[in-house]
Amino acid sequence: MQTEQATSDTPRQAAGIVHAVRGAVVDVVFPDADLPPIDSALVVEWHRPSPLILEVHSHLDRTTLRAVAFQSTSGLARGVSVRATGAPVAVPVGKAVLGRLLDVVGDPQDNGPALPENTPRRSIHALPPPLKSQTGAIDMFETGIKVIDLLTPMAQGGKAAMFGGAGVGKTVLVMELIRAMVEKYEGISVFAGIGERSREGHELLTEMQGSGVLERTVLVYGQMNEPPGARWRAALTALTISEHFRDQQHRNVLLLMDNVFRFVQAGAEVSSLLGRLPSRVGYQPTLATEVAGLQERIASVAGSAVTAIQAVYVPADDFTDPAVTTISSHMDCVIVLSRAQAAEGFYPAIDPLSSSSMLLDPLVVGEAHYRTAEAVRQALARFRELTDIISLLGIEELGAADRQIVRRARRLQRFLTQPFMVTEAFTGTPGASVPLADTLAGCRAILDGEADDWSERSLYMIGTFEDARRKEAEAKAAETSDAGAAA
């Protein structure tokens, strides 16, 4: 880890001493010098081989400041010397970090060689690009996942978030998007693992090594077992690396974050340790400012785009949670993962009625796409309205028109499921990536009644409509042969 050199007008700096340690928060006294500025880095000069970096967060009085540690403070005692750098933490950027796994301060954690000495570095704190230099997001970012491309299209250079409770498939969906996109996406990928479990980090690293996309990817981790300061700033480290590729090398960047709720959670922990009074539901009073500071830096400029895909944990499946509502207000595309969908075996478990995208407009995606998506949404909405009646009285009590809608909606539900490449080892079903044209053609065929007499099983967990046609033909051939054998 290095910090940017202090400029000539930086106030005079000197060594301080540790005054108090409260977990990840450290009070430092500078008795004979000006206090270092807010957000600047301090280096604890202790006897241990591992470095301990602090970041200044508040000035308590004329000689004492309060800082947040990026590494464990276990063993840190009062009286230890602290060196002020006068500048924020600066992390390595550029080609040298491609294919590497870094921590919050930019140190490699993949047992690989050290980064070259001449690797450029950039402060983790920066302002978003001016509004006049930003470009809008109107080009569709095709993912190959049917339900996303049809109902919640993503934007090239936009921000998309996947909201869901525990165990509904957020991380699997992110990993599938990484695999599907990086293979056909000519750009740089930066993955921020915020509060990730060690198992998930190891799985992702192994997956990327096996698929051969690691050389165009940077992994930044602030793991679950690390102090809240590391989890809080890991997103900024990944964003800083993305900004360098966007601004200096004019490359398109795919920025993936898993999980942004852990960023908010770490900020709440830091806020509590700093002694601030909590706000709604116990969150930090600076929640909106912190989320905006992160999200507004994710921007595209002329010639290069940063496309962000973020997983967001929803605590207790409460979509009115302040963290969830604050994050969603910054998104172009909101994908809601439903526990009810997962319970019925519909994967990806995306709720087609709660999810939305600003791109689903006939002026952007075209009239045919828009009309098909609206017809699918209307059929599924009507089916949901009739669900209670069907469960009480049975489908036979419905009118002919409603029975037809229910029949087609059930087939649309199953057609919008899809086997993933990252789950092949667990399900035994080969993964499928479906072009948008095939998705639209399949939905249109179901809405037109082509599959009314088919078994629903033929449309479940397949790729294109032609795959379903083959599956139905095979099933009917098997039934015919069984009937012949019985006779």
Catalytic residue among 48, 197, 280, 371: 197
Give the whole-angstrom CA distance, residue 45 versus residue 80.
Answer: 7
Handedness of CA 305, 311, 312, 314 (dihedral sign): positive
The residue assigned the tokens 């319970």 is: 343
Catalytic residue among 196, 226, 243, 290: 196
Give the whole-angstrom CA distance, residue 209 versus residue 425.
Answer: 16
Are 141 and 148 spatial neighbours (Cβ–Cβ below 8 Å)? Answer: no
**DSSP-assigned states of every residue in 267-302:** HHHHHHHTTPPP-GGG--TTHHHHHHHHHTT---BT
Q: Where are the beta strands (DSSP E) in 234-368?
A: 253-258, 306-313, 333-336, 356-357
Please indicate whether residue 397 is annotated as part of the active site: no
Please indicate whether residue 170 is annotated as part of the active site: yes
Give the whole-angstrom CA distance, residue 272 versus residue 452.
Answer: 58
Handedness of CA 185, 190, 194, 197 (dihedral sign): positive
Q: How many residues does the chain have?
A: 487
Host H or E run for residue 415: helix 400-415
Strand partners, 312: 163
User: In the structure encoding, which two tokens stand for residue 2, read together?
Assistant: 């290095």
Are 91 and 70 spatial neighbours (Cβ–Cβ below 8 Å)? Answer: no
Closest CA to 303 of 236, 358, 217, 245: 245
Give the whole-angstrom CA distance, residue 443 versus residue 346.
Answer: 16
Handedness of CA 233, 136, 173, 328 (dihedral sign): positive
Is residue 5 left, alpha or beta, with left meaning phi > 0 and alpha meaning psi from -120 to 50?
Answer: beta
Half-sphere exposure of 180 (CA within 13 A, CB side): 24
Give the whole-angstrom CA distance, residue 266 versus residue 286.
Answer: 12
Catalytic residue among 66, 100, 146, 170: 170
Please indicate whether residue 197 is annotated as part of the active site: yes
Are 163 and 336 spatial neighbours (Cβ–Cβ below 8 Å)? Answer: yes
**DSSP-assigned states of every residue in 244-265:** HHHHTS---EEEEEE-HHHHHH
Burial label, 132 (beta-carbon count in 10 A; 0-12, 13-18, 19+) = exposed
Residues catalogued as catalytic: 170, 196-197
